[in-house]
Amino acid sequence: MSKKLTLRLDEDVIERAKAYAAERDTSVSRLVESYFDELTGREEGEQGNDLVPESLGPFTSRLARRTSTSETEETDYYEYLQEKHK
């Protein structure tokens, strides 16, 4: 069940968060939810994604797995870029 939460943040932080979320095709709400899940020790593996590089730190890797796109979306985007840049 989802509930609404209102946060007061610096305007610059909000704009950067929106841009970051848009680059990753997700929402600020999803980023915040993932971050809070990580802070509160939610179990790993519920929404994992193997497309995240192992070179990231453990926290960043877990957060990125929760916000990254599916393999199908990655493949579709890759094919789109190949077609676009022929």
CA-wise closest residue to 66 among 40, 18, 32: 32
* pLDDT tens, residue by residue, 23-75: 989 899 988 888 888 777 765 555 544 444 555 566 666 666 666 556 677 77
Instruction: Say how far apart CA 30 and CA 65 lie, in whole Å.
Output: 12
Higher pLDDT, 8 or 75: 8
CA neighbours closer than 13 Å in the CB half-sphere of residue 46: 10
Note the pLDDT of residue 35.
82
| Between 61 and 79, residue with greater pLDDT | 79
Among residues 22, 59, 25, the alpha carbon closest in space to that of 42 is found at 59
| Residue 80 pLDDT greater than 70, yes or no | yes
| Cα(9)–Cα(65) distance, integer angstroms | 25
pTM of the complete model: 0.47
Distance from C-alpha of 86 to C-alpha of 69, rounded to nearest angstrom = 24
The per-residue pLDDT for 37 is 81
